[in-house]
């Protein structure tokens, strides 16, 4: 089932690229594996998935050594500063950086490791109370402040759009994030590139691709429904 789901998701991404005149090579599918057991990640790996997304540090670091070393791990969940040290140097990209203090901590750990950490700034485009992320208005100054930190490269922006039955409702938010990234890019800030846009989940990734997503984060559409009551789920937070 995972294999078919993956194929179908990839196919829909390709079609969305064709419709919007984009090169499918610009879009990377992240299989969001949070709450799912290692066996399911192995199945996705066998079917060709190489990018996995997790939202909890403990769950991610437990899974990492049990899976092949060529997997690229993406931290997509809210990150606490005291947990940064466990993932810097081990992740492809940290999608959910929404404060200077968090960026400073990532910078410190990256310097210790002698690496540069790639990050995205999370923007709460729809200004939902319940969501993390900075506002569209605050984002440019925050990016500029982060650009001065050693050991960090700001690669772009990320958003979590509202939950909705109709993905068209999220199109304006995706468009707004894209526009924001263009606006920031024109400032030519040292150390900042705005080539990455992480947006779109199971319910709305097709729309997000049409609007310029370079990463889509799909969980349910690949692995099926998550069972948060299951034994073995992460107890963190």
Ligand X SMILES: *Cc1c(COP(=O)(O)O)cnc(C)c1O
Q: Which is nearer to ligand X, 90 or 226 (CB)?
A: 226
What is the Cα Rg of the chain in Å? 17
Instruction: Please state, in angstroms and rounded to a whole number, the distance separating the CA atoms of residues 145 and 154.
Output: 11
Asked if 27 touches ligand X (CB under 6 A), the answer is: no
State the Cα–Cα distance between residues 216 and 189, nearest whole angstrom.
25
- If the CB atoms of residues 108 and 205 are measured against ligand X, the closer one turns out to be 205
Out of 106, 160, 206, 208, which residue is the one contacting ligand X (CB under 6 A)? 160
Distance of CA 54 to the CA centre of its chain: 9
- Asked whether position 76 contacts ligand X by CB under 6 A, the answer is yes
Exactly one of 11, 150, 220, 227 binds ligand X (CB under 6 A); which one? Answer: 220
34 phi and psi, to 5 degrees?
Answer: -55, 140
221 binds ligand X (CB under 6 A): yes
56 in contact with ligand X (CB under 6 A): no
By CB under 6 A, residue 156 contacts ligand X: no
Q: Is 58 helix (H, G, I), strand (E, B) or coil?
A: helix
Other beta carbons within 10 angstroms of residue 113's beta carbon come to: 14
By CB under 6 A, residue 126 contacts ligand X: no
Question: Which has the closest alpha carbon to 133: 125, 142, 143, 123?
Answer: 123
Establish if 219 lies at the interface with ligand X (CB under 6 A). Answer: yes
Q: How far is the CB of 62 from ligand X (least distance, A)?
A: 17
Between the alpha carbon of residue 82 and those of residues 87, 102, 105, 108, 200, the distances in Å are 11, 9, 8, 12, 28
What residue is closest to ligand X based on CB? 219
Q: Choose between 34 and 178: whose C-beta lies nearer to ligand X.
A: 34
Q: Near ligand X by CB under 6 A, which window of 79-87, 112-120, 165-173, 211-219? A: 211-219
167 binds ligand X (CB under 6 A): no
Spatial CA neighbour of 57 closest among 29, 80, 32, 30: 80
When binding is defined by CB under 6 A, the residue of 5, 36, 77, 149 that contacts ligand X is 77
> Please, which residue, 151 or 203, has the CB nearer to ligand X?
203
Q: Is 28 in the site for ligand X (CB under 6 A)?
A: no
CA–CA dist 45, 146 (Å, integer): 34
Helix axes 100-113, 139-147, angle to 10 degrees: 20
For residue 161, the 8-state DSSP code is P
User: Could you say whether residue 55 binds ligand X (CB under 6 A)?
Assistant: yes
| Among residues 34, 56, 83, 155, the one that binds ligand X under rule CB under 6 A | 34
Based on the shown chain and the rule CB under 6 A, indicate whether residue 75 belongs to the binding site for ligand X: no
Binding site for ligand X (CB under 6 A): 32, 34, 55, 76-77, 160, 201-203, 217-221
């Amino acid at each position: 089932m995972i294999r078919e789901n993956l194929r179908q998701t990839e196919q829909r991404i390709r079609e969305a690229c064709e419709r919007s005149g984009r090169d499918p090579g610009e879009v990377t599918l992240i299989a969001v594996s949070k709450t799912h057991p290692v066996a399911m990640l192995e199945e996705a790996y066998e079917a060709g998935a190489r990018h996995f997304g997790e939202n909890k540090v403990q769950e991610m670091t437990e899974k990492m050594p049990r899976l092949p070393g060529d997997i690229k791990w993406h931290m997509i969940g809210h990150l606490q500063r005291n947990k940064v040290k466990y993932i810097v140097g081990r992740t492809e990209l940290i999608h959910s950086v929404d404060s200077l203090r968090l960026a400073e901590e990532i910078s410190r750990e990256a310097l210790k490791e002698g690496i540069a950490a790639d990050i995205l700034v999370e923007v709460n485009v729809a200004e939902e109370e319940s969501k993390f992320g900075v506002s569209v208005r605050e984002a440019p100054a925050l990016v500029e402040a982060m650009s001065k930190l050693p050991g960090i490269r700001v690669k772009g922006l990320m958003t979590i759009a509202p939950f909705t039955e109709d993905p068209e409702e999220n199109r304006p938010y995706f468009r707004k994030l894209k526009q924001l990234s263009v606006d920031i890019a024109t400032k030519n800030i040292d150390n900042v590139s705005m080539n990455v846009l992480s947006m779109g989940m199971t319910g709305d990734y097709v729309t997000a691709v049409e609007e310029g997503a370079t990463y889509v984060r799909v969980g349910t559409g690949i692995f099926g429904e998550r069972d948060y009551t299951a034994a073995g789920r992460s107890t963190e937070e």
